[in-house]
Amino acid sequence: MSGTELEDYDDYRTTDVLVVGSGIAGLAAALGAAREGADVTVATKATRPEGASSWWAQGGIAVSRDDPDQFKEDILAASADTADPAAVDVLVDEANDAVSDVLVDTLGVEFDTNGGAEADAPDADGDAFDFGREAAHDEARILHVDASTGKAIHVPFLNYLDAHDDVTVRDDTAALELVSHEGRVNGALLERDGEVTPTFAGATILATGGIGDLYPRSTNPDGSTGDGIAMAALAGADVADMEYVQFHPTVYPGGDDPDDGPFLVSEAVRGEGARLLDGEGERFMPDYHEDAELAPRDVVARAVQTEIDTTGEVRLDVSPLDFAGEFPGLAEKCEARGVDWESGIPVGPAEHFLCGGVDVDTRGRASLDRLYAVGECSRTGVHGANRLASTSLLEGLVWGLRAGEDASGLDPEVVEAPELLDRDPALPDNFAREKFHRLRRTMDEYVGLRRSPDDLGRAQAVLRRLKGEVDAYVRTRTARSLYELRHASVTALLVTRAAAENGESVGTHNLVEEPATTRAD
């Protein structure tokens, strides 16, 4: 794209560090940079805290207890030994200090305790915290606040940074494109209320979260369109492991009534003893894996889908535990929707987490100068082909802090900004809605839990066409929905291409012979 004179924009801004996104990874990056004395701008599309995936996280945040090596082994085993051991070392070795320092001491998060004992650091007293257990964890090591851990961390984190003198949080502000010059990233074009403002930064940290909007069923909030990944890839940054899309096995699917919306049923519920039953009321997980309901998430998700396909439905039987007592928030969600949880909660898989993303090192540095990525939009190597439960908040926290510290100390440079033409072509009615529908249908049918080489070829053809149709409009408009569609189509292509190029079934990437079109389902 050719450059636009800066005076063609009404305004431009400068900041030491620009963070795009406001989940735990972005907020940790902002904190890390501000602690180093940087002036930080956080730009987020979200208008409310619920707009960030972190707010929705239920299960919790895993920490290291008596045996850090076992924690590392569990991460590697869940990933089918595809995670990067050096990255896993960083995550586990820094887990407890990061949780104590930021979450407990700075933000005052009160994790559930067993009552009585002093509980002020994850490793202070093995019995003080009510450590939860989730699938593929060898021991109970998950700190939580009921099943609303994300919210309990995210709200005080946002409040803390809102009050911080060196941090400006700009909400309802979308990043449309990165500004880059001679292989260096110098900031981004930010849009609010249709106004586009180039924001030049000494360093730019992407923390835009996941890709749930690429699929019809997802646990992510709306707007999870892969913005950071697409912007980075379009600027020339490396991405990796894009084929590894994790599906959560136990999502209540919801119904047609708008009040009957889907919701995640945390893996912590299975950790407390809940069992999965098929359409005939039979328990099936022991036939699939020796760890039964606590097998790695990819195994459980595929088993649940197989049982839904063959027996009609799967329910989560919560009768072995005191469900309402231990998970009051989830019991309320069931009751609000008229779901009689005593008869088992209907569940099925839904897109949950992208294990890959912008390829970064242990400081969150991407392959382009002054560009960083943290959290779900990044690929640190911690997750490999399948993420261990309750490691995503932790990864966001640890890498966010590291990247923020590393990114400070660089002065912003004002350079040529990308050209946005102010033409307004007649856009067909429902353009974005129709294209999103086609994109999601394609991803669901061809790039979901099971993938065949033929289907992946078909999906690439559809997505390439779709991206071309979107690109024809996007360069002439600054409308946010068109950019989201552009980012979604670029990201969908990256996922599909990576899946087509990887001939090995591993973790979340499961290859089958039969194309979906001829599969009996």
Residues at the site binding ligand SIN, with contacts judged by CB under 6 A: 58-59, 266-268, 389-390, 392
246: CB partners within 8 A, 6+ apart:
297, 298, 301, 351, 352, 353, 354, 355, 386, 387, 508
Burial of 413 (0-12, 13-18, 19+ CB in 10 A): middle
Q: Least distance to ligand SIN from the beta carbon of 398, Å?
A: 15
Instruction: Sort strands 378-379 and 357-359 into parallel, antiparallel or unpaired.
Output: parallel
Alpha carbons 285 and 299: distance in angstroms, whole number: 9
Q: Least distance to ligand SIN from the beta carbon of 234, Å?
A: 28
Q: Tell me the two tokens of residue 516.
A: 């979906």
DSSP SS3 for 145: coil
Q: Least distance to ligand SIN from the beta carbon of 294, Å?
A: 12
Q: Least distance to ligand SIN from the beta carbon of 265, Å?
A: 8
Q: Which is nearer to ligand SIN, 177 or 351 (CB)?
A: 351
Instruction: Sort strands 40-43 and 167-170 into parallel, antiparallel or unpaired.
Output: parallel
Q: Which of 4, 72, 105 minimizes the C-alpha distance to 415?
A: 4
* Residue carrying structure tokens 């990247």: 403
Alpha carbons 230 and 419: distance in angstroms, whole number: 18
Alpha carbons 393 and 375: distance in angstroms, whole number: 8
Q: Which is nearer to ligand SIN, 176 or 268 (CB)?
A: 268
Q: Which is nearer to ligand SIN, 132 or 418 (CB)?
A: 132
Nearest-CB residue for ligand SIN: 59
Q: Tell me the two tokens of residue 276.
A: 């999965």
Residue 170 falls in the annotated catalytic set: no
Return the amino acid letter for 243. E
Q: Least distance to ligand SIN from the beta carbon of 153, Å?
A: 13
Q: Which of 419, 478, 431 minimizes the C-alpha distance to 194?
A: 478
Q: Least distance to ligand SIN from the beta carbon of 403, Å?
A: 21
Query: Cα angle vertex 32, ends 229, 23, to 5°?
Result: 45
CB-CB neighbours of 131 under 10 Å: 23
Alpha carbons 268 and 171: distance in angstroms, whole number: 32
Q: Least distance to ligand SIN from the beta carbon of 487, Å?
A: 23
> Out of 275, 297, 315, 402, which one is annotated catalytic?
297
DSSP SS3 for 442: helix
Q: Which is nearer to ligand SIN, 20 or 75 (CB)?
A: 75
Report which DSSP code applies to 13: E
CA distances from 379 to 87, 240, 375, 426 (A): 10, 6, 8, 39
Q: Among all residues, which ones are annotated catalytic?
A: 297
